[in-house]
Amino acid sequence: MVTIKDVAREAGVSVATVSRVLNDNGYVGADTRKKVMEAIAELNYSPNEVARSLYKRESRLIGLLLPDITNPFFPQLARGVEDELSQAGYRLLLGNSDENIQKELEYIQTFVQNNVVGIITATNHVDYKIYEALDLPLVLLDRASENYPAVYADGREGGRLAAKTLIEKGAERITLVKGPANIKPAQDRFQGAIEELSQADVDFSVLSTTSYSFEEAQGWAEELFDKFSDTDGIIASNDIVGIAIIHEAMERGKRIPEDVQIIGYDDIPQSRLSYPTLSTIRQPAYEMGREAAKLLIRTIKKEPGVEQTIQMPVELIERKTTRKE
């Protein structure tokens, strides 16, 4: 490994001078600088981040904690975060928590142990004391909070919008799919939908589900049509479940959107490719990731007047599983 000492020797100067050149601070004579630059190029030297991080007590790493990268909503977030961070010279330490407190704790601990300069987390356990004890910039992603800066979309409004849309488009026996109880955003959109449905003049029923996974989505879809076979409007808990419901409806010979309308949530990329294409409530996942990263960077740089919370707009995307009306 080429170290700063090797460069210093090669350039015939002290390590302090090399460091000054590297960091562009302090005084360095023009020709000395040149010699050092040449030595660096000659030896193909690149400074050891670990040593730097130890002394400065901060790295260029940022911890990103997601529930499960396998759920297509999260890669979008991750990608947004990464694009923004890498542009600013930060790198990503990634963890999947599976909504499991134990794993979450482990990752937070390694983040700290590795001197990350900030953490972005999409977690449901923000209230736990680990986060309190943390004196690191923290941004919540896809979750709201009183206590920490956060970037999220308005789930309640999204739920309302989904319900309102189905009602407007003439659905009369609506089935609302309720997402996992321990996932906050799932409950927000559920609440929003319930609000809207309650004050409208429609019949509705609720199907409770306990996961968003691909494996189980089909099961929920089957259960839905078994229990509520005459439903003519379905508000899915997310697009995965929505797509499974389309599949099952087609399987059972129902016409979409004539017999049954379906609306999803998230607008994951593949909802444009289902047949029929899925109408859905869009959360701008990629942008949310970017915003979270920007917010974190501003917090790290202690820029004044950092908004504590960014609420991103949700948006109805009308495709083919809702009527044109």
Partner DNA sequence: CCTCTGTGTGTAACCGGTTACAGATAAAGT
Partner DNA sequence: ACTTTATCTGTAACCGGTTACACACAGAGG
Binding residues for its own copies, rule CB under 8 A, total: 58
Pick the binder of DNA from 42, 43, 56, 311 (CB under 7 A): 56
Q: Tell me if 19 contacts DNA by CB under 7 A.
A: yes
Pick the binder of DNA from 9, 10, 42, 55 (CB under 7 A): 55
Q: Are 31 and 37 in contact (CB under 8 A)?
A: no
Interacting residues with its own copies between 64 and 83 (CB under 8 A): 68-70, 72, 74-76, 78-79, 82
Q: Of the ranges 11-19, 48-56, 149-157, 200-208, which one interacts with its own copies (CB under 8 A)?
A: 48-56
Geometric angle at alpha carbon 131, from 125 and 135, rounded to 5°:
165
CA distance 60 to 52: 10
Q: Which is nearer to its own copies, 90 or 190 (CB)?
A: 90
Instruction: Give the tokens for residue 200.
Output: 């409208």
Q: Tell me if 5 contacts DNA by CB under 7 A.
A: yes
Binding residues for DNA, rule CB under 7 A, total: 33
Helix (H, G, I), strand (E, B) or coil at 92: strand
Q: Which is nearer to DNA, 32 or 213 (CB)?
A: 32
In the complex, the smallest distance separating the C-beta of residue 149 from DNA, rounded to whole angstroms, is 26
In the chain, the DSSP E strands lie at 61-66, 91-96, 118-121, 138-141, 150-153, 173-178, 203-208, 233-235, 261-266, 279-282, 309-312, 315-317
Q: Which H/E stretch holds residue 20?
A: helix 15-23
Pick the binder of its own copies from 35, 247, 309, 316 (CB under 8 A): 247
Residues 6+ apart with CB under 8 A from 10: 39, 42, 43
Among left, alpha and beta (phi > 0; psi -120 to 50; other), residue 57 is left
What is the bridge-based pairing of β-strands 315-317 and 118-121? unpaired
Integer CA distances (angstroms), 229 to 58, 202, 277, 281, in order: 58, 17, 22, 24
**Residue 28 binds: one of its own copies, DNA, none (C-beta under 5 to 8 A by kind):** DNA
Task: Return residues touching DNA (CB under 7 A).
Answer: 1-5, 12-17, 19-20, 22-23, 25-33, 45, 47-48, 51-52, 54-57
Task: Return residues touching its own copies (CB under 8 A).
Answer: 1, 46-51, 53-54, 57, 59-61, 68-70, 72, 74-76, 78-79, 82, 86, 91-96, 103, 106-107, 109-110, 112-115, 214-215, 217-218, 240, 243-244, 246-247, 250-251, 269-270, 272-277
